[in-house]
Each structure stands twice: as C-alpha cells, then as structure tokens.
Amino acid sequence: MVSGVRHMQKIRVLVVDDHTIVREGICALLGLSPEIEVVGEACNGQEALELLERIDPDIVLMDIAMPVMDGLEATRKILQRFPEARILALTQYHDREYVLQVIEAGARGFISKTVASSDLVSGIRSVFNGDSFLSPTVAKYLVEDFQRESAGKKRLDPYEQLTEREKEVLKLLAEGHTTQEIAEMLIISPKTVEGHKTRLMTKLDLHNRVELVKYAVRKGIIII
C-alpha cells in the first residue's frame, strides 16, 4: 500500500460490499466527486484481500456484514498484510459491540450507509488525509465507553473500598508496628486489629506482610 498524499491525483477507492445494487450505487455516487476514483469492487472480504495484491487503493471502503469473509475479519487480515492500508467501515449496523470491534480491528473510521453522499466523500477525504472519521452515533459510543471505563477504574480501586480504620491499620502495619502496638495506639483490642488486618488484606488481595509493605510503598502510603 502506498502511504502519503498523492498531490493533484484522485483518491483511489476500493469498494467492498456484497450487495451488487448497493455497491453500484456507492460507486456511482463516488463517481460524481471530481476528487475520487473507484479503482476496484469486491463482494466480500476475501475478494478484497485478493484485489489488494494487484491494485493500490488509497482507501478501502469496507462493508461489515458479508458472506465468505466479513468486514471485521477482512480488516484484521488486510492490516496484517498491508499495515499502511486505510480502511473506512461502511455499514447499516450500529450495534455498540459491533462498532467497537471494527475500530479495535484497526479501521480508520466508521460511517453509516444512511449518510448523505457529501458525508461519505468527507469521510473518505478525512481518512485519506490521515485523520479518523466517525459518524455521530459511533463517536457517542466511544465517548460513553471511555467515560464508563474511567468511572469503572475509580470504582474498582481496592484501596477506596477500605474503611478509614482499615487504612489506619494498613499504614501502621506497613510502618512495621506489631499488632499489640497498633492496638495501644488506636485504643482497640489486638483481636480487633487482627480483624481489620484480615479484612484489608482480603480486599487488597495481599497475602503477607512483605506484599503489604510493597503495596503501601507503591500507593504512597509510606515512604522508605
């Protein structure tokens, strides 16, 4: 695959879609743009992969749901063989999991078949110029997933699951104090200290004092 921008030349596009009428319609629409040239058509991912051995498209406009080899598998295989390939997924499906799999597979963009022809040309131009292109629905999915992951990371921090007393016991244990010393310092019984110790180590998935000290150092609870 050739990378970079061909100045003064049209953007060469390979159209991959298993529905002949749809594929021909896309080609006709793209043919109306003076900056785009359709250099090949394929009816499934396998055929697209074989065509890429012979032609040199700037953009692969890839349908997702196809027989023989679907767009998701084709995207992965094309990028394994042609790492510089620029793939723009074109589909009627907006299922969140489906969309994210395509993006994770390496597609540079994801655009709906319901968009206006001008948006399709804009998507091709953006991907050709090295940018990504996501329809509003897809962009919304990615933002929501990022926010969910960020919130999940905060919720899943084991340290935040500790009670304030367990945090106190953790710090004192990491500093090397014995159960008896901690009991005297916190004015509680040694048995209660042991209870806090057991619970905090379970929550943090720690199994001995060495692991506990290492954790406290990594977390900045103590400085050595």
Q: Amino acid letter at 34?
A: P
Identify the three-state secondary structure at position 97.
Answer: helix
- Tokens, residue 67: 């027989």
Name the pLDDT band for 141 (thresholds 50, 70, 90). Answer: low
Q: Is the pTM of this model over 0.75?
A: no
Among 32, 24, 132, CA closest to 86: 132
State pLDDT tens for residues 61-92: 999 888 899 888 999 999 999 988 999 998 77
State pLDDT tens for residues 172-199: 999 889 999 999 999 999 999 999 999 9
- Tokens, residue 204: 């943090």
> What are the CB-based long-range contacts (under 8 Å, 24+) for 22-29?
22/63, 22/113, 26/61, 26/90, 26/120, 29/117, 29/120
- Domains identified in the chain and CATH numbers: 11-141 (3.40.50.2300), 158-216 (1.10.10.10)
> What are the CB-based long-range contacts (under 8 Å, 24+) for 102-105?
102/64, 102/71, 102/72, 102/75, 103/138, 103/142, 105/72, 105/75, 105/76, 105/79
